[in-house]
Amino acid sequence: MTTVFVHGVPVTSAVWTPLSTELRRDVVRLSPPGFGAALPAGFGATFLDYRDWLVGELAHFTTPVDLVGHDFGGGYVLEAVLARPDLVRSWVSDTVGGYEPGFTWHEIAKIWQKPGDGERHLEETFAGDVAARTARMIEWGIPEPAAGAVALGQGPEMARAILALYRSVPENTLAERGRRLPEAAARPGLVPVATDDVTAGSVALRHRAAERAGARAVDLDGLGHWWMLQDPARAARMLSDFWDGLS
């Protein structure tokens, strides 16, 4: 069975490397345009553009996949499942909380959504050489060597994609789309709940969203936003337990 990983912002597929090595599976790490892959001409980089991109990628596989998404990648996963459940055997998303009423964007997201402030913030975040960007990613909680690998992919193109993406989902947009969340139960789902992640909504909110989606929620106590990097062995056990139970 093929496992497909999709990452979010502001990183590259390097965030999946330690977890991938822990899994004894055929793993494919997809890079959304602007995030480790070039931005095609005319690509709008909106939330639904990324959904359509992911659906197009999944259509290339000969059998349904086990789909795993982190951060905004988790949103693309949910949207792909809602649009084309036939392409997916199972799904994993750590960002279902965004689809719940009461979810609010974290402070950096709010900055990126604001014209002018977002441009300045990303110019500062991506300024300097690879070493400078690596140091910032370490401050953001990404450990080495992933921080250095991520920094290599950061620059003006990623900044443009981030601004377009975040500005395509103003406050309450995801909650409105969340009215369809129960339809995600068409395929088995898993929601990793990293209890120290301050960007994904409260633990209770994420559990509530998982229940609406018909998915299993698993608390990752003591882990934060970069749970797959903080403890890849634990993450691999969680995923393997979920997949082993699907047969």
Strands (E), 56-149: 65-69, 88-93
CATH of domain 2-104+173-244: 3.40.50.1820
**pLDDT score, position 224:** 98
> What sign does the dihedral 194-195-196-199 (CA atoms) show?
positive
Share of the chain above pLDDT 90, in %: 96
**pLDDT score, position 139:** 97
Whether 73 has a pLDDT exceeding 90, the answer reads yes
Whether 247 has a pLDDT exceeding 80, the answer reads no
**pLDDT score, position 1:** 85
Contact indicator for 226, 142 with CB cutoff of 8 Å: yes
User: For the residues 201-220, what does the mean pLDDT come to?
Assistant: 98
For residue 32, whether the previous peptide bond is cis, meaning omega lies within 30 degrees of 0, is no
* φ, ψ of residue 191 in degrees (nearest 5): -120, 105
Neighbours of 144 (CB within 10 A): 11
Contact indicator for 93, 125 with CB cutoff of 8 Å: no
User: For the residues 130-152, what does the mean pLDDT come to?
Assistant: 98
**pLDDT score, position 170:** 87
* DSSP codes joined into one string, 146-202: HHHHHHHT-SHHHHHHHHHHHHTS-TTHHHHHGGGGGGGGGS-EEEEEETT-SSS--
Share of the chain above pLDDT 70, in %: 100
pTM of the predicted protein model: 0.97
Give the residue among 187, 247, 242 at the shortest CA–CA distance from 220: 242
**pLDDT score, position 221:** 98
* φ, ψ of residue 223 in degrees (nearest 5): -100, 155
Domain ranges of the chain: 2-104+173-244
**pLDDT score, position 172:** 84
The C-alpha atoms of residue 61 and residue 44 are separated, in whole angstroms, by 25
Region of poorest pLDDT, from 128-137, 167-176, 190-199, 222-231: 167-176
